Structure 1
Amino acid sequence: MNDAHRPDADGPQLRTLLLTDLCDSTTLVERIGDGPAAELFREHDRLVLALQQRWRGRLIDRSDGLLLLFERPIDGLGFALDYARGLREIGAARKFELKARAGLHVGEVLTWRNSDEAVRVGAKPVEVEGLAKPMAGRLMATARPGQILLSAVAEPLAHRAARELGERGQQLLWKSHGRWRFKGVPEPQEIYEVGEPGIAPLRAPPNGPKAWRDVPLWRRPAALVAEVALLAMIGGGAWFATRPQPAIAFNQRDWVVVGDLRNLTGQSVLDDSLEQAFRISLEQSRYVNVLSDLKTRDTLERMQRKNDTVLDRAIASEIALRDGARAVILPTVAEVGGRVRVSAEVIDPHTQTTVYAESADGHGKESTLGSIDTVTAALREKLGEAMKSIERDSEPLPKVATKNLDALRAYALGLKAYGERRHPEAQRYFDQAIALDPEFALAYLAALRVHVGDADNRSAKPYLEKAVALRSHLAPRDALYLDAWSAEYGPQPATRAPAQWKLLAGLYPDYYAGHYNYAWAAFANNRYSESLSFAKAAAAPQNPLRSSAIELVGRAQLAQGDAKAALASFEQGEKIGRYGPNRRRAAALATLRRFDEARAVLAQLSDDTSTSGLTNNLERISVAVDQGRWDEAQKIAARAEREAIHGTPVLANQFALIRLTVESLSGRPLQTAAVLAIGRKAAAQAGDEADPLRNEQAYVALSAAYLGQRHGQAEVARQLLPVLEPLAKRIGDPLVTQLLIIVQAGQLRLDGKPQDAIALLRPLVRGDELFQVHSALRAAYAAAGQDQDAQVEERWLAQNRGRAYIETAGSQALQVVNVADTGLGERAKAETVARAVARTQR
């Protein structure tokens, strides 16, 4: 009966142990009776089983409590958090509190299986032993009801991986309860608590016979009597001067909220300028993350407070708790004894008490920038950043910003206007900052962002060139940001720029511009899985532009065929960004064939001559084509062509080609001369090396050649290819190159060489291919008599509706053709079957 198997031959294994205990379970049974208690425990067991499977736990033992093993601490923590929430819901349904205490530890254990005979008579299937087990037990026994305690080994591992829990992981509250003594454990142990707001007690555990707070000798009662007498003689003033400062648990990449600067000097020029300078200085750190001003104001709005509410101790602490920030920093500038003092307090947002304070004095307002650098460096060291890191990642403010306080104030006001989407006003402030200090590199970079946000690339370029000339005046992070934009405007941006954005994301993982822009670059190059991964990283709660990242998540999901998830992401982005439905939501609805809802969304969108108003017509035309409403599609396309004349040259060429595309799809003869004219015009404009959209013009020109081929007209491509082949090589855009290969293959097919066309196209099928690669392959296979291969491509076309709608290549110049081909796939399939039958009957 005791013939248990020997412990695993591999010896001790490092595992995460979670021990829980259901509080007052015996009293509960007496209170509600055996029958209701049995039903409650059955529901409890279902909860445990579901969580065990979700978090990959191994249940070792159970009674009133649980013993589970996990491979990783974050899995054990996820189980504990969900278990606490699940118990809360079970109890609420029965109108009483149901809580458990939990202890989480990481250590070595020995495991072995009991024999089948032993299990049959009541032994556990698996035994676990080792010092880690009583340690987890002590933590569990020490915890208050509803409390999750972690050992000093488990806490940093779980804390570092908390982002894997998604948005909830960003909002967890972590608290150190200091050093404790456990009975039977010789050394004192640091213990931590973690939990969700409103659920976790976040109070120190009570002392008990098996666990008690490790209080130094000088703080014990007998010693305190003597100390009080001594302190009374020395005086309260001396004690106040020498009292120890409280600590705050702060880890690398934790977030801080910077409150509004308190300006006690009476000099208004210091109000916005020093607050911005404080941010610029602190944001140089790779250890401390600063919640952006745009994000804090957004949270204020969600708290239903006015946008200009002062971020004092209480308000900033509430923002910190909502956004998962570990600390609040309150800067102050004042005149003390004829000197200008810059000081800053670090506040624990849970208690709103001051944890650290630093200050630096100087003569005159010009000294304030140097004082800010001194104060932020001291705060970074107090928060745990290594001195070498501070020295490496710190440049003086006059170098990386400006020594002109008026210019700095104009820059700060420009950022506020930009954050509130008042772009013309923001541009005026940035131009004023530049006029006051022509070497203010950050102001040029900010003006660049304004023009890029307005899709005015030509106006942006002079600011970019000036910023590049002043690159040495930027902090390392801002210099990398500039390098990425420089690559966007340089030669072959489609290949060079993504590498720069990825570098920025890797070196500064919480600076979301790198993640988002790389996600967009990957999406634009049809690398949808990679785009989804980086877009999700950019969708963190601390990102002030989170709604845009969530929308990009939806686009990638739609491209990958998950239209329902995409629709949910679009709706979430609209809710967070507080904007109405857009054409991407209509595309997702149309992909799901919910056409009435898609048309209702499109009816709400603008149809003016702005860029967004014009591009809304892409979905209007595509949805009409998808439904076979050819007259409607032609009317919308004709109107869009007329109005696009007032848009950009790319849009004018694109909608002219789309109108001809819709007419030919509806059965009318292709206007070959008109198609060729559009191709020549777009090709000529693509030859302008100063045009940042030349790749899109080249794509439109190749689309014209391809449209001719689809109607058996090889002459369009024959005249355009001599110009487009060397042009595509110079541009170096991967998608332009792909479309060029499609057109070259089309010529081979029309010349009676379908096998050569297939050989040219097949290497493109690698996951990032254009939608039309499969249409071209279908045509080549059909021409070669390879009917089964053609049917494979037809099925692909019919199954990738989301990709047809959302592929962004060439400003979606071929979107209408893509969508039409998803419906034509069924017709083409019937034609392929008919051809096969005819061949067998010959």
Structure 2
Amino acid sequence: MAAIVPGSGNSPSGTASEGAAEGPARGGRRILFGDFEAQPAAGLLLRNGHRVRIQDLPFRMLMVLLETPGEIVTREELRNRLWGEKTFVEFDNNLRVAAAKLREALQDSAAGPRYLETVARRGYRFLGAVETIAAAVPVPEAEVPEPPRVDVLPDIDATTQVPLDEGRGRRPFALLGLAAVLLVGLAVWMAWGWRHHRPILAEGDTVALGSIENETGDASLDDALSLAFRIKMEESPFLHAISGEHFERASAVLQSGKGAKLSRAAAELSVCGSSGGRALLNGRLLRSGSGYTVRLAAERCTDGREIASTEASTNSAETLLAALGDAANAIRLRLGEPTATLGRFDVPLTQATTSSLAALRAFREGEQKHFAGRDLEAREDFKLAIDLDPNFALAYLQMGRSYSNNGERSLSRAYYQKAFDLRDRTTDREKLYIATSYYGYATGELGRAISAYELWSSLYPHDVVPANNLATEYLSLGEGQKAVASVRRAIALEPALPVPYTTLAQALLISGDLPALSTLCNDRQREESTSMGFHMACHELAIVQGDQGRQQSEERFVHGTPLESLLLNDAAEAEVYGGHLRRAAEMFQGAIDAARAHAMPELASVIELNGAGIFAELGESATAVRWAEDEQAHSQPGADLDASAAMVWATLGNESRAREFAAAAKALSPTDTLLNESELPVAYAIVALHAGRPRDAVAVLAPARPYDLNNSMELMPIYYRARALLASGDRAGAAAEFERLLANAHQRPRSVYLPLSRLALVKLYAAGGQAERARAMKESLEEIWRTADPNFAPLHSLRGSVSDHDDHR
């Protein structure tokens, strides 16, 4: 019945580039002129909806000019607005450079200006009409009625942006340290490890975020700051940080592999270099009298040479996170991040993570177990982190991710909800991570999830996570080509990161590009992947291609793992496709037992109801009822399970039970896109067909058409629409739908609805006088069912219908 889709690891350590389409800003003004749109709050310039690369100073110059279009803005006013009245720089040359960069971004010309006019010896003037409007958030058409709006990023708008003329950071750095003392009660001082103010990195340069080594002798502080340091640096949209998951896994291999083992520092530097990083950012935690000093440094990945450093000291362990935050901000500025950007993306670490060092350490240990593929063990550490700090939003997020990636969606929803409720206790990047997970997995509002990922990509154009995860949302909708395009952007950002290759394998499978998938599965480097999702995609390819050697190899890979049940489910569906129901029943039961053996009761229930629905469709009512009535199949509450049960009982002809489960599913997930626009309409359509109301079935399936190819329904909406059209007398419409289903066979190559559609077309072609088409379709079916069980009902139906037609002729 409904397809079972494993988690693709859609959160690489979290886990579009320039040119990706942007949506309207979530808050603040939008300023329109010509083909361009400026979003001051987000610091974005768009042309025809696509992001334009522009540096901070030219963008701020544009904002000043747009305030008074058609009027001259003097050189003196621009100096005061862009650099500050008391700042002495060679601003004439700098202003000319900024104007040239602005013209380059606007594709304008000084000789024949369209937007930016130079007024000799006076200043500059903006030409053309300007329209300022309030930003609006696009709402997917499917979201009716509209639930109350929840701002994803309440902090990012014009009301909270640091003023441009105050964001230059020209006051002595010692005053910043004094302000920190006054604000957070720290006895803190800063020692700046540079001799000049020239930026070290350019925007988008790749960096690796290493560890904070504990050199205090206090074992309770081991690795206590590494996670907070990474989160603080990932907050910066200026830096392109290598995925933490990939970086830590690769470093761990070098520290524990065969042969000469590297130290942690040497391993991190090596991975930074092999990943194309320019600088490794790391640190040390030191004793300083009765207090502590946090020392951060940037080292060249090529030779380990230190190129920048900073220190922050504090009197007690309770204020270590505040000191780390100060040092991290200092190193961000030193590396070249504009002061205005730092001002917009700077959440205190005690708010962004937790004030409990013990909770941080527990979270860190859970994260390292997750990176090592020990997800079930990692949950205990995340639970401990929550116990130590019940307001630790990221710990709830990781619990939700762990359950959803292992097929336990109902359990994941509660954790995603809690993380969403606490999202203001995170950085803006983590806030986006929480919001996308919440919309994608807790409420099922795919339109909002996609909008949030697009916003994430616009604010963090170098971040691989939104590009990869946006692809997984397209996979949910069955939009394979969009998924391929999005995940290829992710791979371009981080070619060495394994997770996007799993997403790519799944996207190539549902888009039908089997040659490209075969190449990927046979890539020697990819063959060593530890991703279950990757090996499952390659396993399904092996089934389609009849490659038993590859199929057995993939089965051995997942044998004994928690996801073995998913592979057995796919193998069972392939047996049904070939008409081997006895063997399929055994494999479905094996999949159910494997899921329960690994303490995954919800996944076991999903598989059991999936098998029940398939057997009910084929007329094997006894087996279907036995699985559907199994108490364990309903032991876990959840909208997905209730929707599956509704379809099973509808197929079995039990309208009252079908409606009971459908109502329960609707009540649990009133905003879930696929449940309300595809799964429940199919259940109601089956009820209508059994009640002899085919036109009602056609009508109820009309809103489902945009979601016909979603990857949870195995082409069922198309199949039942075709059956409803046929029952209502529209043979041509039915044939067109059955043919459309077969044209999209790549979505689910071994779905039972493929041969059943072929069977229907044999009869339709024969009845319509298309003998050759009927014969060709019949031969293809006979090949599929060549070794089918002797009592396989569809095979008998095929033979009987063709012989009846031959007799009629």
Q: Give the shorter-chain TM-score range.
A: 0.5 to 0.7
How far the C-alpha of 1:272 sits from its partner, in A, is 1.4
Q: What CA deviation, in whole Å up to 9, does each residue of 1:340-382 have, x standing for no partner? A: 4433332233454332232334435555433322222222112
1:420 to 348, 359, 372: 372
1:736 is aligned to 675
1:273 to 217, 224, 235: 224
2:322 is aligned to 370
The higher radius of gyration belongs to 1
Say if 2:611 is the partner of 1:658: yes
How far the C-alpha of 1:474 sits from its partner, in A, is 2.1
Distance 1:820 1:414 in 2: 41
What SS does the corresponding residue of 1:577 show, helix, strand or coil?
coil
How far the C-alpha of 1:803 sits from its partner, in A, is 1.2
Q: What CA deviation, in whole Å up to 9, does each residue of 1:46-103 have, x standing for no partner? A: xxxxxxxxxxxxxxxxxxxxxxxxxxxxxxxxxxxxxxxxxxxxxxxxxxxxxxxxxx
How far the C-alpha of 1:565 sits from its partner, in A, is 1.9
What SS does the corresponding residue of 1:299 show, helix, strand or coil?
helix
Say if 2:221 is the partner of 1:283: no
1:823 is aligned to 755
Counterpart of 1:310, as a letter, is S
Higher relative contact order (CA 8 A, sep 6+): 2
Distance 1:841 1:729, change over 3 A: farther
8 Å contact 2:479–2:511 — kept in the other structure?
no
Distance 1:683 1:510, change over 3 A: farther
Distance 1:291 1:767 in 2: 35
8 Å contact 1:650–1:696 — kept in the other structure?
no
Distance 1:640 1:535 in 2: 30
Say if 2:650 is the partner of 1:705: yes
2:483 is aligned to 531
Alignment of 1:193-592 (within 5 A): 250-300=201-251, 306=257, 309-312=262-265, 315-335=267-287, 340-366=292-318, 368-423=320-375, 425-455=377-407, 467=419, 470-487=422-439, 490-491=442-443, 497-539=449-491, 542=494, 546-571=497-522, 574-575=526-527, 577-578=529-530, 582-591=535-544
Give RMSD over aligned pairs. Answer: 4.5
How far the C-alpha of 1:481 sits from its partner, in A, is 2.6
Q: What CA deviation, in whole Å up to 9, does each residue of 1:395-446 have, x standing for no partner? A: 2333333444444334333332332233455444445545555554444444
Alignment of 1:112-127 (within 5 A): none
Q: What CA deviation, in whole Å up to 9, does each residue of 1:738-782 have, x standing for no partner? A: 244344445555666656654554664446445123322433444
Distance 2:318 2:307 in 1: 29
Distance 2:422 2:359 in 1: 16
Distance 1:613 1:244 in 2: 58
Counterpart of 2:311, as a letter, is S
8 Å contact 2:463–2:493 — kept in the other structure?
no
Q: What CA deviation, in whole Å up to 9, does each residue of 1:229-272 have, x standing for no partner? A: xxxxxxxxxxxx99955966522232222344455544444441
How far the C-alpha of 1:839 sits from its partner, in A, is 13
Counterpart of 2:201, as a letter, is F
Deviates more, 1:548-557 or 1:578-587: 578-587
How far the C-alpha of 1:836 sits from its partner, in A, is 1.7
1:835 is aligned to 767
What SS does the corresponding residue of 1:252 show, helix, strand or coil?
coil
Distance 2:327 2:399 in 1: 29
2:146 is aligned to none
Counterpart of 2:669, as a letter, is I
Counterpart of 2:662, as a letter, is L
How far the C-alpha of 1:331 sits from its partner, in A, is 2.0
Distance 1:684 1:622, change over 3 A: closer
1:772 is aligned to 716
Counterpart of 1:833, as a letter, is Y
1:721 is aligned to 659
Q: What CA deviation, in whole Å up to 9, does each residue of 1:543-584 have, x standing for no partner? A: 88x433322222222212212223334455843524687332
Distance 2:681 2:264 in 1: 58
Distance 2:429 2:730 in 1: 55
8 Å contact 2:634–2:641 — kept in the other structure?
no
1:129 is aligned to none
Counterpart of 1:522, as a letter, is Y
1:17 is aligned to none
Distance 1:659 1:392, change over 3 A: closer
Counterpart of 2:621, as a letter, is Q
2:601 is aligned to 648
Distance 1:676 1:250, change over 3 A: same
8 Å contact 1:637–1:659 — kept in the other structure?
no
8 Å contact 2:446–2:473 — kept in the other structure?
yes
What SS does the corresponding residue of 1:346 show, helix, strand or coil?
strand
Count of aligned pairs between the two proteins: 578
> What fraction of aligned residue pairs are identical, expressed as a percent?
20
How far the C-alpha of 1:698 sits from its partner, in A, is 0.9
Unaligned runs of 5+ in 2: 1-96, 106-191, 770-804
How far the C-alpha of 1:508 sits from its partner, in A, is 3.4
1:620 is aligned to 571
2:145 is aligned to none
Counterpart of 2:334, as a letter, is K
8 Å contact 2:291–2:317 — kept in the other structure?
no
2:26 is aligned to none
Distance 1:766 1:286 in 2: 35
8 Å contact 1:685–1:694 — kept in the other structure?
no
1:28 is aligned to none
Distance 1:396 1:506 in 2: 23
What SS does the corresponding residue of 1:272 show, helix, strand or coil?
coil
Q: What CA deviation, in whole Å up to 9, does each residue of 1:710-740 have, x standing for no partner? A: xxxxx43466236626854763434334244
Say if 2:745 is the partner of 1:801: yes
Distance 1:368 1:653, change over 3 A: closer
How far the C-alpha of 1:485 sits from its partner, in A, is 4.0
Q: What CA deviation, in whole Å up to 9, does each residue of 1:785-837 have, x standing for no partner? A: 554444433433334332124xxxxxxxxxxxx62332344443332222123
Q: TM-score, normalised by structure 1?
A: 0.58
Distance 1:373 1:731, change over 3 A: closer
Deviates more, 1:278-287 or 1:753-762: 753-762
8 Å contact 2:467–2:487 — kept in the other structure?
yes
Unaligned runs of 5+ in 1: 1-151, 161-240, 709-714, 806-817
